[in-house]
Structure 1
Amino acid sequence: MSGRFRRGLRMLSASAVVAGVISGTAGGAVAGAAPVVHRAPWGGYEEVWVPSDMGPIKVQIQWAKRGGSAALYLLDGMRARNDYNAWTRDTNALAQYANDNVTLVMPVGGESSFYSDWMAPSNFNGQQNAYKWETFLTKQLPDYLATRGVSRSNNGVLGLSMGGSAALTLAAYHRDQFKFAGSLSGYLNISAPGMREAIRVAMLDAGRFNVDSMWGPPWSQSWLRNDPFVFAPQLRGLSLYVSASSGLPGPLDHPSAPIDYYNTANAMGLEALALANSRAFQVRLDTLGVGATYSFPANGTHSWPYWESELWKARPQILDTLNAW
């Protein structure tokens, strides 16, 4: 898996973020030293380190323009990096929400984690501590953000690919925290034939992570707990946004060299699989009478330009749900 897929999941492309957006307090503030305040900072960008069961976690934050208490968590993909969240580099997400009264919360790290609490450290790559991402995102990070004036209950969560299913999982099991959940090109039917095997292979390729350390063997209850198709009834009443493209190259694909065409072909296959999963999930929600907003463009591959576009499309729904205009 490489090229535009690696670009989507390794987050190596470097599309520029408007310089004026990345203003305010930059650097590595220590979360534990943050004072208790009644309102969030009014706008600006900050990087903090928040204590967790995994050790200190870097979090990139763009504060609400007018000090509002709403927050939108943006989750990364399978090849999430340890130095930045790709929403801050590979999209214009910061610029999109620069004038809105919502804080963008972008945790850094979590390669192949599905933002889940793992059963054990991955024994294939020498991981020292088991991932505890669900605990971090629903307890330790909200605890810290509350000291900065961010609400514990007026939040949304959105992710792409791996982060898409994770966003729905977090929202389903933490309804007191999240009012909105969005999946962009997510794999939302992981019990479908071949999906568990595909996830195993993908995680081996992305950091040599052992999927059995995450949720145990494929027949375990933990797999079902983290399958959006299975827990779909628990999403009733949430504001939901689900998107995936056809996989056919569109206006934001610009292959030129032979390797570009090869990489685009990989991204086409991944997006087609995401579309099949998302369409099956749509049928599941319709059967349950659970409402959602769907976006299934006729063209588009598994890559950041399309996720950037979908984030913009989802923006009015997010701001309405969180009352964050």
Structure 2
Amino acid sequence: MSTRVPITTAAVMAAAVAASVAFVGAQVSDAEPTNPVPSVTPPPPVDPKMTRTGLLSSENMGGRHERLHIASAAMRRVIDVDVLRGAGDQPRPTLYLLDGVDGDPVSGWLTKGGAAEFFADKPVDVVLTSGGTGSMYSDWERHDAALGLNRWETFLTTELPPIVESLLRSDGDRAIAGVSMGAQAAMMLAQRHPGQYRAVAGMSGCYSTADPLGHAVTSITVASRGGNADNLWGPANSPEWVAHDTVLNAERLRGTAVYLSAASGAPTHADLVAVAQSPDIVDALTVAGGGVALEAGARACTERLVARLGELRIPATVDYSDAGMHTWVDFQAQLPRAWKVLSTALGLPGAQ
């Protein structure tokens, strides 16, 4: 464990600049919370008649990959969920894997993060949500003009598990992991629902919400996709900002296996190769600059949570990389290390 890391002006600025870039291996946004940009697409429509939750249909996407279409009473719409069935015929544990801020129609873990290939021989069922753009995967207090109705915490912790785990014949054990915005959400859901997950992994995320640093990061993340953070948990002095702060509520992670990782922001060889191979090197360099800032901010945020866990004597596995940016190339490199912790907690030490 590292020692306590104070909230310095430099740390606040690094994290705020990082969050203002607010991309996960994708485009750079100049949005600020006081002047949010409009959404690229309109928010998902709400169906007031959708008052029951259930599986509507499923599609075989090839091999052991299925796409489920699930009616959510909480969000009054259909949520698309991708499932990677694990190897073997026996009941298996379930890993919920959260995407970053973009919330694309198909999880970035599938389109950019190599999850299908990595988990192909693993005896675990992987569940990947889509469409959570800028949502923090939380229950919002109010409908947002840009991001719509978001009740992701209810969906992920209450509505989805009985449906998907029954379909998959789960053994009842589960873990949750995420990257960037999804990392913050994974830790947040684990501390708000103690005992629901055997393990949690956060890769390149920020984990406070109530202090000036955490409020700034969260607000800018939401605003980068056109949302208004006041619609999320209310004004900054609302107790909900405290309730969702994992640093302040770290004690609630006791008994859960914890993995945290972040890099320095310095580009790796793979990052440089990706820039060199880009059809637009100037644009790629701009995006790479955002990746440097984002990862530096994530590193400062991660160090704060690690320090708090150390104060509480809560065990955690922590990986700090000397090189790596906030890009999918580097997130892919973090996944195998996270899996070592997750698989052991799920009773699958041989699957590492």
Single out whichever of 193-202 and 304-313 deviates more from structure 2. Answer: 193-202
- Provide TM-score, normalisation by structure 1: 0.84
Distance 2:162 2:298 in 1: 33
Residue 210 (str. 1) matches residue 233 (str. 2): no
1:143 aligns with 2:162: yes
Q: State the distance in 2 between where 1:74 and 1:196 align.
A: 24
Alignment partner, residue 110 of structure 2: 88
What stretches of structure 2 of length at least 5 have no aligned partner? 1-17, 29-53
User: Where does residue 50 of structure 1 map in the other structure?
Assistant: 70
Deviation at 1:5, TM superposition (A): 6.0
CA distance in 1, matches of 2:197, 2:87: 20
**Could you tell me which amino acid in structure 2 is paired with residue 172 of structure 1?**
Q
Establish whether residue 71 from structure 1 lines up as the match of residue 94 from structure 2.
yes
Indicate which of 116, 121, 124 corresponds to 1:99. 121
SS at match of 1:191: coil
Q: Distance in 2 between matches of 1:199 and 1:182?
A: 19
1:6 to partner: Cα distance = 3.4
1:277 and 1:7, CA in 2 relative to 1: closer, same or farther beyond 3 A? closer
Q: Is the 8 A contact 1:182 1:240 kept in 2?
A: yes
Tell me the distance in 1 between the aligned counterparts of 2:147 and 2:180. Answer: 25
Summarize deviations over 1:174-200 as a string: whole Å, max 9, x none: 234210101000101333434323432
Cα distance between partner residues in 2 of 1:174 and 1:152: 19
Q: Which residue of 2 aligns with 1:155?
A: 174
| 2:38 paired residue number | none
The answer to whether 1:178 aligns with 2:197 is yes
Partner of 2:241: 223
Q: Tell me which residue corresponds to 2:346.
A: 322
> Separation in 2 of the partners of 1:259 and 1:282?
35
In 1, the alpha carbon distance for the partners of 2:329 and 2:317 equals 20
Distance in 2 between residues matched to 1:132 and 1:227, nearest whole Å: 18
Q: Are 1:110 and 2:132 counterparts?
A: yes
Amino acid at match of 2:204: S
Relative to the length of structure 2, the TM-score reads 0.78
Q: Which amino acid aligns with 1:46?
A: E
Aligned-partner Cα distance in 1 for 2:183–2:67:
24
Between 1:287-296 and 1:195-204, the stretch displaced more is: 195-204
User: In the superposition, relative to structure 1, how do residues 181 and 9 fare at CA in structure 2: closer, same or farther (>3 Å)?
Assistant: farther
CA shift, 1:126, in A, is 7.1
Q: For 1:142 and 1:301, locate their aligned partners in 2 and report how far apart those are by CA, in whole Å.
A: 33
SS state at 1:243 partner: strand
- The Cα shift of 1:278 comes to 0.3
Task: Indicate conservation of the 8 Å contact 1:71/1:150, yes or no.
Answer: no
Is the 8 Å Cα contact of residues 9 and 77 (structure 1) preserved in structure 2?
no
Query: How big is the alpha-carbon RMSD for the aligned residues of Structure 1 and Structure 2?
Result: 2.2
- Relative to structure 1, is the Cα distance of residues 150 and 209 closer, same or farther in structure 2, using a 3 angstrom cutoff? farther
Equivalenced residue count is 293
Amino acid at match of 1:164: A
Q: In the alignment, residue 66 of structure 1 is paired with which amino acid?
A: G
The alignment partner of 1:117 has SS state of coil
Q: CA deviation at 1:306?
A: 1.0
Task: Give the one of 274, 292, 295 matched to 1:268.
Answer: 292
How far 1:91 sits from its partner (Å)?
1.6
Q: Is 1:239–2:257 an aligned residue pair?
A: yes
Indicate the structure whose relative CO is greater, using CA pairs within 8 Å and at least 6 residues apart. Answer: 2
